Copies of this chain bind each other. A is one copy, B any other.
Amino acid sequence: MRVGELSKRSGVPVPTIKYYLREGLLPAGVLTSPNQAHYDDEHLRRLRLVRALVDVGGLSIASVREVLAAIDTRDQSLHKKLGAVQEAISQPGPVDLDPLAVEDVQAFFARQGERECVDVTESNVTHMLAAALSAARSVGHDHFRELLDPYLEGLKIIAQADLEYIARRGSADAVIEGMVVGTLIGDAVLKAVRRLAHAQVSREVLGDSAALPKVNG
């Protein structure tokens, strides 16, 4: 297809495509005349992935280049590639880490039988978790750590559905694009559905009563 068709099928404007080509985020097309290049479905998939990283993930062009290099490495498993992309799209907030929140994360890892998590800032994801628990502690919610185990239990059901959703896609680029969109837009969907689940459970447990609910323990 020509660049106009590539733009139409991807929804990405032609000037943006040309910019990605200049920045090396998209491989050059095959020249069919001095002024005309031909693109195929592989270009389309790569373009969709770049757009997801830039528009949905908010990544800089330099970060996108790094992510693409990780994806194009031949001798890495898909699991590892997904992990590298997940790191790139997970930025911890600007919260000061509370040493007790760091201990909460380490204890959580130990309970899960995961490899020791000595330095939580080594990974963006564990850093993100320690930052969120620090924020909870800063407003007096020291016991938020008790929610980690039930959260993981519920989220494993969700992660299973997420993985099935992206695994249906035909190519590694499409799987990774699905992971980026599924993770980031999925966060927003999850936030909304969580509020609906709160309303359902609150109605079931509390009903019309004005009193505080009874709980065990």
**Chain A interface residues (CB < 8 Å from chain B):** 11, 48, 51-52, 55-56, 74, 76-79, 82-83, 86, 90, 93, 112, 125-126, 128-129, 131-133, 135-136, 139-141, 143-144, 146-148, 150-165, 167-168, 170-172, 175, 178, 181-183, 185-203, 205-215, 217
Contact = CB atoms under 8 A, between A and B. Distances in A.
B207 A79 contact: yes
Q: Which 6 A-B pairs have the closest CB atoms?
A: A150-B161, A129-B192, A154-B157, A132-B188, A155-B197, A159-B197
Contacts of A156: 154, 197, 200-201
A198 B167 contact: no
Please report whether the interface of chain A is mostly helix, strand, loop or mixed according to DSSP.
helix
B83 A125 contact: no
A168 to B, nearest CB: 6
Contacts of A112: 200
B202 A163 contact: yes
B172 A79 contact: no
Contact of A129 (B52, B189, B215): B189
Contact of A210 (B52, B78, B209): B78
B136 A189 contact: yes
B144 A86 contact: no
Contact of A154 (B141, B158, B168): B158
A189 B79 CA distance: 23
Contact of A82 (B11, B158, B202): B202
